[in-house]
Amino acid sequence: MSKKILVVDDDHDSAEMIAEFLRLQGYLASFAVDGQGAVASARELVPDIALLDITLPDMSGYELAQRLRLEPALPRLVLIALTGWSGPEHEAKAREAGFDHHMVKPVDFTKLQRLLDG
């Protein structure tokens, strides 16, 4: 069975491009462009993995990660921060918010593929 992946980025084109890349790799991928849409999509899709931008229009990616961690249907959800913010302080903040991994934009698709396969 293919892994289900939710991509969340306020840049519609970016979210759609990443989701399409994932579909071409055989994953079941969908995307959302804000936090509320992401929560609704996660409840419907029940993804295995979520790639979350940190800067969203209605809540931060950190807040979204915390909300998704509270969803009873998502106990094994792997959260990957996908952000323009780099450095140890941002990686630590992501871990504190519940992220499993931290990736800096632009997306390195080779590194992303390794994370998804790992």
Q: Read off the pLDDT of each residue in 29-56 and give the average, rounded to a whole number.
A: 97
Q: Is 18 exposed, middle or buried, given 0-12, 13-18 or 19+ CB atoms closer than 10 A?
A: buried
Please say whether the beta carbons of 46 and 74 come within 8 A. Answer: yes
What's the pLDDT tens digit per position in 15-30?
999 999 999 999 999 9
How far is the C-alpha of 111 from the C-alpha of 8, rounded, in Å? Answer: 18
pLDDT band at 55 (very low <50, low <70, confident <90, very high): very high
Q: Nearest-CA neighbor of 22 among 11, 41, 33, 8?
A: 8
Q: Read off the pLDDT of each residue in 54-68 and give the average, rounded to a whole number.
A: 97
State percent of the chain over pLDDT 90. 92
Q: Read off the pLDDT of each residue in 101-112 and give the average, rounded to a whole number.
A: 93
Q: Read off the pLDDT of each residue in 58-69 and give the average, rounded to a whole number.
A: 97
Q: Which CATH architecture has domain 4-117?
A: 3-Layer(aba) Sandwich (3.40)
pTM for the full model?
0.95
**Is the pLDDT assigned to residue 48 strictly greater than 80?**
yes
